[in-house]
Amino acid sequence: MASEVLDVRPLDRCGASIDGIDVTCATDDQIDAIRTAIFQRGVVFIQGRVLAPEEQIAFARRLAPIVINRYFPKAERYPEIAKVEKSESQRTNIGGAWHTDHSYDVAPSMGSVLMAVKTPPEGGDTLFADLYAAYDALSPGLKATLRTLKAHHVSAHAFGEGGHYAKSDRPELGGFKDTPEAVHPVVITHPGSGKPVLYVNPAFTTRFVGWTREESMALLSYLYQHATQDRFVRRFQWRAGSMAIWDNRCTWHHALNDYQGHHRLMHRITLEGGPLS
Ligand code: SIN
């Protein structure tokens, strides 16, 4: 991907790496180039130092306005930063299944800025799937059918009373009464790239509008196994100071939970998006 102001290296399957940048003193042109890389490649990876909360917030604000996550614990004095954390004694991690952030919102998030503060000695990688490529690889017939559909995106079964987290050893992440739902087209036009992309995800999409759950799951399950094939998925290994900035409209991610007995702490900032069409 040509960029005169940044060393953006496209990676196979999904994403791009950006070398040699200190995001705390990026120029406006570099910020624009980072945003373009996210829109085109889905996720960018930057290896740097652990940023202070003020630095991460200031950088994220240059990409887009910040939205406050409803459910996750916040960094002390910095509500903009959600703590994605698992302690040595906890079993359940945050984001431990394929999903995209905030698809249950009427105006879903544009992206997320995740920085590793503390990583386990091994494991705790994150998988990213390229939904542009997954959509492109479908047959013309299935694409045409999907373009006629809308789907329900729901948060209650994850964050609500009796939901996944409420029933786990992380009840502080669940039991909420404020559990938004939204309907979005199954194929959207990405607002930043203009490209068509599949916009359903295994965590929050429950059914197609006008279809039963059972009918929907037959097709959704096919799409989920299709999009998570190795050919569309990149695995990212973190070290303290690594940052991933992903686009929630054209990727899914999955935080692997293979580091029981160790502490992992990430600081996540969610970026504002808008209604999808
Ligand atoms: C998330 O799902 O936002 C967190 C991903 C991770 O911790 O790797």
- Catalytic machinery residues: 99, 101, 253, 268
Q: Flag whether 276 is in a domain.
A: no
Those residues with Cβ within 8 angstroms of residue 223's Cβ, 6 or more apart along the chain or in another chain:
134, 198, 200
% of the chain surpassing 70 pLDDT: 99
Q: List pLDDT tens digits, range 219-271.
A: 999 999 999 999 999 999 999 999 999 999 999 999 999 999 999 999 999 99
Is the CB of residue 93 below 6 angstroms from any atom belonging to ligand 1? no
Q: Flag whether 209 is in a domain.
A: yes
What is the spatial distance between Cα 147 and Cα 274, in angstroms, rounded to a whole number? 20
Residue range of the domain that includes 246: 7-271
What tokens does 250 get? 């054209």
Contact indicator for 266, 116 with CB cutoff of 8 Å: yes
CB burial class (10 A; 0-12, 13-18, 19+) of residue 239?
exposed
* Whether pLDDT at 113 is above 90: yes
Rounded average pLDDT over 208-212: 98
Q: Flag whether 266 is in a domain.
A: yes
Name the residue of 104, 256, 266 whose CB sits within 8 Å of the most ligand 1 atoms, as the mutation to test its pocket: 266
What's the pTM?
0.97
Average pLDDT, the chain: 97
The rounded Å distance from CA 94 to ligand 1 centre is 6
Rounded average pLDDT over 203-212: 98
Closest CA to ligand 1's atom 8: 255
Domain of residue 163, CATH code? 3.60.130.10
Q: List pLDDT tens digits, range 141-168.
A: 999 999 999 999 999 999 999 999 999 9
State the pLDDT at residue 2: 53
Q: Flag whether 252 is in a domain.
A: yes
- At 4, the pLDDT band (50, 70, 90 cuts) reads confident
What is the spatial distance between Cα 13 and Cα 144, in angstroms, rounded to a whole number? 24
Task: Report DSSP letters for 15-42, one per residue.
Answer: -EEEES--GGG--HHHHHHHHHHHHHHS
Instruction: Please report, in angstroms and rounded to a whole number, the separation of the first and last CA atoms in the chain.
Output: 26
Q: Flag whether 1 is in a domain.
A: no
Q: Flag whether 48 is in a domain.
A: yes
Q: Count up the domains in the chain and report the number.
A: 1
Instruction: Indicate which atom in ligand 1 lies nearest the CA of residue 238.
Output: 8
